[in-house]
Chain A
Amino acid sequence: METAVAVLTGLYFAVSIYLMLSRHIIRILLGTVTLSTGANLTIFAMGRITREVPPIIPSGLYLPAEGAANALPQALVLTAIVIAFSLFAFLLVLVMRSYQELGTDDTYAMRDAEPEGEPLPPLGY
Chain B
Amino acid sequence: MAAAERPAIDPADAFVMEAPALADWLIVMPLVIGFIFAALCLMTRKDTRRQPAIAITGLVLILLCVVGLFVHVLVNGTVVMAMGRWLPPFGIAFVADMLGATLALISGIVGLATGIYALREADNTERRYGFYPFLLMMLSGVICAFLTGDIFNLYVWFEVLLLGSFGLLILGSRRDQLDGATKYAFLNLVATTLFLIAVAYVYGLFGTLNMADIARKAAVMDEVGPRLTIAALFFFAFAMKAAAFPLNFWLPASYHTPRLAVGAIFAGLLTKVGVYALLRILLTIFPADRDDLAVAIAVVAAASMLLGAIGALAQTDMRRVLGYLVISGIGIMLAGLALGSATGLSGTAFYTAHSMVVMTALYLLVGIVGAAAGTFDLHRAGGLYATAPWLAVVALVLAFSVSGLPPFSGLWPKIFLVKASIDVGAWWLAAAILVSGFLTTIAIVRLFAFAFWRPAHPDMRSLSLAEVPVARLGLPVLAGLCGLTVIAGLYPEPFIQVSDRIAFELMNPAGYIDAVYAPMPAAAEGAVQ
A positions within 8 Å CB-CB of B: 20, 25, 28-29, 32, 35-36, 38-39, 42-43, 45-48, 60, 62, 72-73, 76, 79-80, 83-84, 86-87, 90-91, 94-95, 97-98, 101-102, 110-114, 118-122, 125
Chain A residues within 8 Å of B313, by CB: 121
A36→B189 CA distance, assembly (Å) = 9
Chain A residues within 8 Å of B316, by CB: 118-122
B190, A32: Cβ atoms under 8 Å?
yes
Given contacts A20-B190, A60-B6, A91-B189, contact A102 B179 (CB under 8 A): yes
Selected A-B contacts with CB under 8 Å, 19 pairs: A42-B197, A47-B203, A60-B5, A60-B6, A79-B152, A86-B163, A87-B162, A90-B185, A101-B173, A102-B175, A112-B178, A113-B254, A120-B316, A121-B315, A121-B378, A122-B316, A122-B378, A122-B450, A125-B454
How far does the Cβ of B36 sit from chain A's closest Cβ, in whole Å?
A: 21
A113, B189: Cβ atoms under 8 Å?
no
How far does the Cβ of B461 sit from chain A's closest Cβ, in whole Å?
A: 18
Chain B residues within 8 Å of A94, by CB: 166, 170, 178, 181-182, 185
A98→B186 CA distance, assembly (Å) = 13
Determine which of B179, B182, B197, B378 lies in contact with A39 in the assembled complex, contact meaning CB atoms within 8 Å.
B197
How far does the Cβ of A122 sit from chain B's closest Cβ, in whole Å?
A: 5
Chain B residues within 8 Å of A39, by CB: 193, 196-197, 200
B interface: dominant SS: helix
How far does the Cβ of B191 sit from chain A's closest Cβ, in whole Å?
A: 11
B253, A87: Cβ atoms under 8 Å?
no
Given contacts A32-B186, A90-B166, contact A111 B378 (CB under 8 A): no
Chain B residues within 8 Å of A101, by CB: 173, 175, 178
How far does the Cβ of A76 sit from chain B's closest Cβ, in whole Å?
A: 6
A interface: dominant SS: helix
B204, A35: Cβ atoms under 8 Å?
no
How far does the Cβ of A42 sit from chain B's closest Cβ, in whole Å?
A: 4
Give per-residue flags for B250-269: 1 if the beta carbon is below 8 A from chain A beta carbons, else 0. Answer: 00111011000000000000
Q: Enumerate the 10 nearest inter-chain pairs by beta-carbon distance, A residue then B residue, closest first.
A: A46-B204, A113-B180, A98-B178, A112-B179, A43-B200, A42-B200, A112-B176, A113-B179, A113-B176, A112-B175
How far does the Cβ of A63 sit from chain B's closest Cβ, in whole Å?
A: 12
A25, B200: Cβ atoms under 8 Å?
no
